Every structure is written in C-alpha cells, then in structure tokens.
Amino acid sequence: MTGSQIALAIQIETKRGRDSFKSAEILLAAGMYADAVSRAYYGALHFARALLLTADEEPKTHGGVVRLISRDFVRTGELAPEVAQLLSALEKQRSDADYTAELVFTQASAAQDIARSGQFIDAIAELLTRKGWVIA
C-alpha cells in the first residue's frame, strides 16, 4: 500500500471503530448486553487494525491482530502491555457473547467492557495521532 492508501485505510478503520463503539453504547442502553459486548470489541478491533496498518500488517484473524499488536507495538515500547491486554480481554468476552448462549451478560459487565474498549480506543487514537496519522 502507498502512504495515501494507508492513510485512507486508517480513516476507514477508525470510523468503523467509532461506529461500533457508539453501537455498543446504544445496545447497552437498550439492555442488549451480549450484543453491546460484541460491538465494544469490534470498536477496539478496528482501531487495532488501523494501528497495524502503520506497520504494514493486515492480519486475517482476530488472534493475528492480538499477536501482532503485541509483537509490533508492545515489544517496541510504543504501547503499554496493559493496553494490549485490554484487547485480549475484549476478544475473549466477544467470543463468549457471540458463541456461548448460556452465559448471561449483565449491565455492569457490559458497561465494564465498553469502558475497556474506550480505554483501548483512546490509547490507539493517541498513538496514531502522535505518529502523524489523521483518524476519523
């Protein structure tokens, strides 16, 4: 990808991330807690994918995103391990929300996951901005 293509892809990913995060908040307010948890994760995922574009990485799996964030940004010291752990925790919760029907999510647990997603998004947005990228 060229620099302008990366810049456009970052804007698309961050816009999708913000939209997913907003959807999570709406679903929380509507009492749809499992769906809110899932959308919160996808908000964070899109920001992670945007960050990985700056390292010329486009992973095809959720696990690949988590691994590459750790390899390319935590190991280099650009991102705190605690921030990367937020994404891992959100991915596990998303999997449970989407595939474990007997697991019941509460308003409090969904709100906690949305807060984690917001922390992750804020950290990635700050890093992208510090690196000179324009985000949506």
Residue 20 in domain: yes
The candidate with the shortest Cα–Cα distance to 110, out of 16, 25, 52, is: 25
Mean pLDDT of all residues belonging to the chain: 96
- pLDDT for position 101: 87
* Beta carbons of 21 and 118 less than 8 angstroms apart: yes
Residue 19, domain extent: 3-130
| pLDDT exceeds 90 at position 51 | yes
Residue 136 in domain: no
What's the average model confidence in pLDDT over 5-29? Answer: 98
3-class secondary-structure state, position 74: helix
Task: Quick: pLDDT tens for 93-117.
Answer: 999 999 998 999 999 999 999 999 9
- pLDDT for position 1: 80
Residue 97 in domain: yes
Residue 99 in domain: yes
Residue 135 in domain: no
| Domain count within the chain | 1
Residue 19 in domain: yes
Query: Under 8 Å CB-to-CB from 42, ≥6 apart: which residues?
Result: 16, 17, 20, 94
CATH code of the domain containing 95 = 1.20.120.330
Residue 67 in domain: yes
Residue 26 in domain: yes
The candidate with the shortest Cα–Cα distance to 52, out of 84, 89, 90, 95, is: 84
**Cα–Cα distance between 35 and 30 in angstroms, integer?**
10
- Give percent of the chain with pLDDT exceeding 70: 100
What's the average model confidence in pLDDT over 49-76? Answer: 96
∠ Cα 66 79 112 (to 5°)? 65
